Structure 1
């Protein structure tokens, strides 16, 4: 029995418009500002993604048993090297990118959430 349908993934962060702009650039989406506390992404395929103001937001520490990663997004890309160049230019920080033989690499978005680029 299905109880619910996923409506959206909402990411808590200190600056919703800045983080929505970061992900918008990666996904080919447009930030739509509801108010200073909420921004949706529009104009792309996939699960709806929104960003919510979280005063006092504490970024996760990855990997760390004392600081849960809270969640992470897997983004499928055609070219890992090209996607890595773009995500870094947009302000991501490498977390686990050294093994270039793997089909995935881990970064932190500008608010500190882990995000993986996955070959697809």
Structure 2
């Protein structure tokens, strides 16, 4: 049984609306929102999200020692149960201070960040 389903792939960037516009031209779809978080709803029903990242440094590729600067939002029915599951699989918490939020941030076993988000 799966612990979660994929919510959205989020790309950090200096200008979310501009980058969403680029991908809208590439993929089609509708850009929604403004400011620090912008969504791109693509025609087949999936989405990409773009998040403002002050001081953004573009990733270098291929460069195994540099960040690819994205994270996964994974939608779950029960944050506590999903947290126990991902920790048992080798994830580690990155942002455990605020337990009242509807999301929690972890690193996968290779160090890539992802969020568990209440669905």
Query: TM-score by structure 2 length?
Result: 0.53
1:54 alignment partner in structure 2: 53
Structure 2 residue 4 is the aligned partner of structure 1 residue 4: yes
1:90 alignment partner in structure 2: none
Paired residues in the alignment total 70
Q: 1:70 to 1:55 in 2, by over 3 A?
A: closer
Deviation, 1:30, is: 1.5
CA–CA separation in structure 2 for the residues paired with 1:40 and 1:68: 22
Q: 1:43 to 1:64 in 2, by over 3 A?
A: closer
Checking the alignment, whether the CA contact within 8 Å between 2:20 and 2:39 is kept in structure 1 is yes
Deviation, 1:45, is: 1.1
Deviation, 1:4, is: 0.3
Runs of 4+ off more than 3 Å? 68-71
Deviation, 1:16, is: 0.2
Query: TM-score by structure 1 length?
Result: 0.52
1:32 alignment partner in structure 2: 32
Question: Which stretch of the first structure deviates more once superposed, 41-50 or 20-29?
Answer: 41-50
Structure 2, unmatched stretches of 5+, are 71-119
CA–CA separation in structure 2 for the residues paired with 1:45 and 1:2: 23
Matches within 5 A, 1:10-29: 10-29=10-29
